[in-house]
Amino acid sequence: MTKSGSQRRASLSLMVTIATYFLAIVFIVLPLVNANWARASVISFIAAAICVVWGSVFIWVRKRNLRQS
């Protein structure tokens, strides 16, 4: 069974969303685990926030596209 284009895009956006949230978790946990990263924790938390926003945008776009189809 082959996937349609919209199913492929939906699974791709889900994978991107999961990856961005995973990166957010990594950016939050890494400074707590590694003392050398403690100095860069502010940058790390900003990167985590960007990842969360990016993932949220992907979820919003995905829901909007599902409603339209």
**So what's the pLDDT on residue 5?**
67
**So what's the pLDDT on residue 66?**
76
pLDDT band at 6 (very low <50, low <70, confident <90, very high): low
**So what's the pLDDT on residue 2?**
60
**So what's the pLDDT on residue 13?**
72
Stretch 25-49: mean pLDDT, rounded? 74
More confident residue, 30 or 39: 30
**So what's the pLDDT on residue 69?**
66
> Measured at the alpha carbon of residue 18, what is the angle toward residues 42 and 51, in degrees to the nearest 5?
25
Cα 55 versus chain centre, distance:
4
